[in-house]
Chains A and B, each alone.
Chain A
Amino acid sequence: MSTLANILIDGIAYGMVLFVIAIGLSVTLGLMRFVNLSHGAFAMVGGYCAALLTREAQWSFWVAVPVAILATALLGAVLEVLVLRHLYRRKELDQVLFTIGLSFLLIAGTNALVGPQVQLIPLPSALAGSVDLGFRTLPAQRLLVIGAGLAVAAVAAWTVTRTRFGIWLRAAVDHAGTASALGIPIRTVQCASFAAGAALAGFGGILGAELMPLEPYYALKYLVLVLVVVAVGGMGSITGSLCAAVLLGVIETASKYLASDWGSLFFFLAMAALLAWRPDGLLKR
């Protein structure tokens, strides 16, 4: 039984990290139909900023993390306004090529500026310890990840359903033309959601730094996982991404516990099965 509990805890934590990173990509894909393969790079940038600020500049963790998230949001907004919005009308393959090129650039830049070693984010003593749950000792950081993921899901859901921005967002995802004809400022919505997606990716990179080590190739290495979550959860669907991320996270963790020499076989088998069953996303009718 304790194995089951272990699988659930580790799996949910892993799933939460994937969810937080994937939200931005899901919204961008659903809203702007923009294939942004540099999304992983935002997660990397967020993680690196937090790591450098806490370690090199000696800032407090609680200050460095929000600053890192804001920096990533800023980077996202700047990129969107200056470069990416001109690509919205281009063919998907062109978008793929460009964003892969951008990822390469960010990988090379990170390597040049910081070096190829893994970056660790030193946690404050409150989070660095272990929590003894009786049947197992858990790094406190995992609990933070689960909590943060739930908080992000809650805030995102609230934003989308209860605020005016959320209404604008949903309208724009459903039909951009009509939404803009009705006076919704599409450009602002696009820029803001892109920046928010980048910020969340950065947050996810920070949260996941223990599970997915920060090194220059991070941008492309974990891209597949994030794409899988977006595909299975359905583009543009936040609750879909959450369900997909947690489900796939638990399956991957279960296979690590029970059948580790099969690698990620079960993860991708499950993914293929889920996609075949619900091609448009888990929760889309």
Chain B
Amino acid sequence: MNTMTLLRARLQKPDASAPRCAPPSRAPLVALVIGLVACTLLPQHASLLTRVFITALLVLSLDLAVGVAGLATLGHAALFGVGAYAAGIFALKVMPDPLVGLGIGVAAGALLAFASGAFLLRYQGFTFLMLTVAVAQIVLSLAQKARDWTGGDDGLSGFTVRPLLGRFVFDLEGRVAALYALAVLVIALYLLRRLVDSPFGLAVRGIHENRARMAALGTPVYARLLVLYTVAGAVAGAAGALSAQTTAVVGLDSLSFALSAEALVMLILGGAGRLTGALVGATVFTLLHHTAASINPYHWLFVVGILLMLVVLVPPAKAWAWLRSRVGAGS
């Protein structure tokens, strides 16, 4: 939502006293309902649903950085990966409690985001993008080198996770894992919705639209962006921790450039900036990948490639409007 749409909305509705933003609990509730329905109707696909929820959380955190703050990044997988490895190593060496591990993952992601953001946010545009790639690859190289901690190319495995809250065992079918991931996703969505709609969030969105103007208004641009980037890192770290705990294995692919690029693709597909677009993009892409790959593992890239090109060539908004004008001639 930018100034123009706000203005237009105000001009059209005479009663402009009420705020036009949706209540922050609406999107999380909708997501919760859809998620619960999916878990109930498709219990055999629980592990797929878990992956969808975790990916949605990752793309959500990317939306914070890319959509809200305008920081196009191709290194987001690093934040996901450190969260995953931190949670995995913690479960292996210290204690296998899932919630504490989740906290560790969040902390790890936030820490890396803070440290790298302090350096990265001095740059903008293409330079910033390439530097995020550099940081991510450096983290990947370090993880590869630290074989004794991360398992290197063999991956980190052999850790188990204690029952959630002491009662819910992570079963073979993956139902508990799916509900756990869904709960974290919904809570994160709510918190982020509150954040983005708050004055802080508005300031960041303002920085996205026009950095110079916000600076002229006295906003500490660098500080705001750093805080936002750290929050994005925390959420990505949470996604990584969930991934480590639900699959009980962490591989170097969780730090890869391919993951960063895929997350960005999912975000653009669903629409950046509104938080809900991230969920939609992640869901569609993951389900499509899964379906197409199980039908024909060789040729699923065809389907995805064509879909991506179509989505750009024929923007959904335009297609929908065209359809409406054809079908509803009276509206």
Q: When A and B assemble into the complex, do they touch directly, with CB atoms less than 8 Å apart?
A: yes
Tell me the A residues contacting B by CB distance below 8 Å: 29, 83, 86-87, 90, 92-94, 96-98, 100-109, 111-112, 220, 224, 227-228, 231-232, 235, 261-265, 267-269, 271-272, 275-276, 279-280
Pairwise interchain contact A228-B302, C-beta atoms closer than 8 A: no
State which residues 271-325 of B face A: CB under 8 Å.
Answer: 272, 298-302, 304-309, 311-313
When A101-B304, A263-B144, A276-B131 are in contact, do A220 and B137 touch as well, CB less than 8 Å?
A: no
* In the complex, B123 has a CB within 8 A of chain A: yes
Q: A105-B301, A107-B301, A271-B130 are in contact. List 10 more A-B contacts (CB 8 A).
A: A94-B312, A97-B308, A101-B308, A101-B311, A224-B133, A224-B257, A263-B144, A265-B142, A268-B133, A271-B134
19 contacts across the A-B interface (CB closer than 8 A): A87-B312, A93-B66, A93-B268, A94-B268, A97-B268, A98-B308, A100-B261, A100-B308, A104-B305, A104-B308, A105-B302, A108-B299, A112-B302, A228-B130, A231-B126, A265-B138, A265-B141, A268-B138, A269-B138
What is the bound-complex CA distance between A41 and B147, given in angstroms? 33
Contact assessment for A90 and B130 in the assembled complex, using a CB-CB cutoff below 8 Å: no
Give the distance in Å from the alpha carbon of A238 to the alpha carbon of B330 in the complex.
Answer: 58
Q: A235-B126, A264-B141 are in contact. Are A102 and B268 (CB under 8 A)?
A: no
Q: Given A90-B312, A93-B272, A111-B298, decide whether A105 and B141 contact each other with a Cβ distance below 8 A.
A: no
Say yes or no: B312 contacts A105, CB within 8 Å: no
- Does B302 contact A108, Cβ atoms closer than 8 Å? yes
Interface residues of B in 133-153 (CB under 8 A from A): 133-135, 137-138, 140-142, 144-145
Query: Do A101 and B306 touch across chains, with their CB atoms under 8 A apart?
Result: yes
Is there contact, CB below 8 Å, between B264 and A96? yes
Question: Which A residues touch B298, using CB under 8 A?
Answer: 111-112
Q: Is the CB of A268 within 8 A of B134?
A: yes
Docked CA distance A246–B142 (Å): 25
A89 and B141 alpha carbons, distance in the complex (Å)? 37
Q: List, in ascending order, chain A residues with CB within 8 A of B72's CB.
A: 92-93
Let me know if B127 and A262 touch, CB within 8 A: no
B155 to chain A, nearest CB (A): 16
* Complexed CA–CA distance, A102 and B312 (Å): 11
Chain A, interface SS category? helix
225-272 of chain B: CB within 8 A of chain A? 257-258, 261, 264-265, 268-269, 272
Which residues on B sit within 8 Å (CB–CB) of A106? 305
Q: Which residues of B contact A227 (CB under 8 A)?
A: 130, 133
Q: Which of B130, B135, B301 interacts with A111 by CB under 8 Å?
A: B301
B258 surroundings in chain A (CB, below 8 A)? 220
Question: What residues of A have a CB within 8 angstroms of the CB of B306 in the complex?
Answer: 101, 105
A108:B305 contact, CB within 8 angstroms? yes
B300 CB to closest chain A CB (Å) equals: 8
* Chain A hits for B123, CB < 8 A: 275-276, 279
Interface contact A263-B127, CB-CB below 8 Å = no
Q: Collect the chain B residues with CB atoms within 8 Å of residue A86's CB.
A: 313
B127 touches A279 (CB 8 A): yes
Chain B residue nearest to A259 in the complex (CB): B145
Given A94-B268, A105-B306, A108-B299: A275 touches B127 (CB 8 Å cut-off)? yes
B 48-81 to A, binary, CB cutoff 8 A, 1 in contact else 0: 0000000000000000001000001000000000
A-chain residues with CB within 8 Å of residue B126 when the two chains form the complex: 29, 231, 235
CB closest chain-A residue, reference B261? A100
Nearest-CB distance from B68 to chain A (Å)? 14
Closest to A106 in B: B305
* Shortest Cβ distance from B300 into A: residue: A108
Distance between A212 CB and nearest chain B CB, rounded to angstroms: 16
Minimum CB–CB distance for B197 against chain A, Å: 23
Instruction: Write the chain A residue with the least CB distance to B267.
Output: A93
Distance between Cα atoms of A262 and B258 in the complex (Å) = 20
User: Which chain A residue has the least Cβ–Cβ distance from B124?
Assistant: A279
Complex interface residues of chain B between 105 and 147 (CB less than 8 A to chain A): 119, 122-123, 126-127, 130-131, 133-135, 137-138, 140-142, 144-145
